[in-house]
Amino acid sequence: MGPRFGKLFEKLCGAHVADLLWHLPTGIIDRRFAPKVAEAPDGVIATITVEIDAHLRPASMRQPYKIRCRDETGFLHLVFFHVKGDYLEKLLPVGTRRMVSGRVEHFNNQVQITHPDHIVDPDAEDKPPPIEPVYGLTGGLTLRSVQKAVRAALARAPALPEWIEPTVLAQRRWPAWKDALLTAHKPDSTSDLELDQPARQRLAYDELLSNQLAIALVRAHTRRLSGRSIKVAGDLRRRATAALPFQLTPSQIAALAEIGGDMASPQRMLRLLQGDVGSGKTVVAVMAMLDAIEAGAQAALMAPTEILARQHFSTIEKIAANAGVKTAILTGREKGKTHDAILASVASGETGILVGTHAIFQADVVYQDLALAVVDEQHRFGVEQRMALSEKGRGMDMLVMTATPIPRTLMMTSYGDLDSSRLTEKPAGRKPIKTLTLPSSRLEEVVEAVSRALDQKAKIYWVCPLVEESELIDLAAAAERHEQLKGLFGERVGLIHGRMKGAEKDRVMEGFARGGIDLLIATTVIEVGVDVPEATIMVIEHAERFGLAQLHQLRGRIGRSDRPSTCLLLYAAPLGETAKARLSILRETEDGFRIAEEDLKLRGAGEVLGTRQSGMPELKLADLAAHQELLAMARDDARLALTRDPELSSPRGQALRTLLYLFERDVAVRYLRSG
Burial class (CB in 10 A: 0-12, 13-18, 19+), 424: middle
> Number of C-alpha atoms within 13 angstroms, CB side, residue 292?
36
Domain boundaries, the chain: 32-128, 235-423, 433-589
Structure confidence by residue, pLDDT tens digits, 409-463: 777 777 777 888 988 887 767 788 999 999 999 999 999 999 999 999 999 999 9
Superfamily of domain 235-423: P-loop containing nucleotide triphosphate hydrolases (3.40.50.300)
For residues 149 and 147, what is the distance between their CA atoms, to the nearest angstrom? 6
Radius of gyration of the chain from Cα atoms? 31
Q: Does domain 32-128 have CATH number 2.40.50.140?
A: yes
Is 0.85 surpassed by the pTM of this model?
A: no
pLDDT at residue 497, rounded to an integer: 83
For residues 459 and 558, what is the distance between their CA atoms, to the nearest angstrom? 10
pLDDT at residue 606, rounded to an integer: 45
pLDDT at residue 610, rounded to an integer: 38
> What is the residue-averaged pLDDT of the chain?
88
Angle between the 502-514 and 306-322 helix axes, to the nearest 10 degrees?
60
Residues 432 and 590 sit within 8 Å (Cβ to Cβ): yes
pLDDT at residue 557, rounded to an integer: 85
652-658, Cβ contacts within 8 angstroms, sequence gap of 24 or more:
652/162, 652/163, 652/165, 654/161, 655/160, 655/161, 655/162, 655/163, 656/163, 656/209, 656/213, 658/160, 658/161, 658/163
pLDDT at residue 613, rounded to an integer: 36
Residues 132 and 151 sit within 8 Å (Cβ to Cβ): no
For residues 378 and 272, what is the distance between their CA atoms, to the nearest angstrom? 8
Please give the angle made by the CA atoms of 661, 670 and 391, to the nearest 5 degrees: 135
Percent of the chain with pLDDT over 90: 59
DSSP one-letter string for 24-74 = --SEEEE------GGG--TT-EEEEEEEEEEEE--SSTTSPEEEEEEETTE
Per-residue pLDDT, averaged over 201-223, amounts to: 90
For residues 502 and 293, what is the distance between their CA atoms, to the nearest angstrom? 30
For residues 383 and 581, what is the distance between their CA atoms, to the nearest angstrom? 33
Burial class (CB in 10 A: 0-12, 13-18, 19+), 32: exposed
C-alpha distances (whole Å) from 224 to each of 230, 415, 416 are 18, 18, 16
pLDDT at residue 670, rounded to an integer: 77
Please give the angle made by the CA atoms of 280, 282 and 287, to the nearest 5 degrees: 105
pLDDT at residue 473, rounded to an integer: 58
Residues 439 and 290 sit within 8 Å (Cβ to Cβ): no
Helix, strand, or coil here: 298? strand
C-alpha distances (whole Å) from 556 to each of 38, 58, 274, 383, 579 are 62, 63, 15, 27, 20
Instruction: Please say if the pLDDT value at position 660 is more than 70.
Output: yes
* CATH topology agreement for domains 32-128 and 235-423: no
Structure confidence by residue, pLDDT tens digits, 594-610: 887 787 777 654 444 33
For residues 229 and 396, what is the distance between their CA atoms, to the nearest angstrom? 10
- As beta bridge partners, residue 274 has 402, 422
Q: What band does 530 get if pLDDT is binned at 50, 70 and 90? A: low
Q: What values do phi and psi take at 153, rounded to 5? A: -65, -40
Q: What is the 3-state secondary structure (H, E, C) of 241-264?
A: HHHCCCCCCHHHHHHHHHHHHHHH
93-97, 266-270, 410-414: the lowest-pLDDT one: 410-414
Q: What band does 614 get if pLDDT is binned at 50, 70 and 90? A: very low
pLDDT at residue 84, rounded to an integer: 86
Instruction: Name which of 427, 449, 441, 404 is nearest 551 in CA terms.
Output: 404
Structure confidence by residue, pLDDT tens digits, 626-639: 888 999 999 999 99
Structure confidence by residue, pLDDT tens digits, 144-188: 999 999 999 999 999 999 999 999 999 999 999 999 999 999 999
51-55, 91-95, 258-262, 589-593: the lowest-pLDDT one: 589-593
pLDDT at residue 525, rounded to an integer: 67
Residues 209 and 659 sit within 8 Å (Cβ to Cβ): yes
CB burial string 463-495: b at 16+ within 10 A, e below: bbbbbeeeeeebbebbeebbeebbeebeebbbb
Look up the CATH number of domain 433-589. Answer: 3.40.50.300
For residues 312 and 331, what is the distance between their CA atoms, to the nearest angstrom? 12
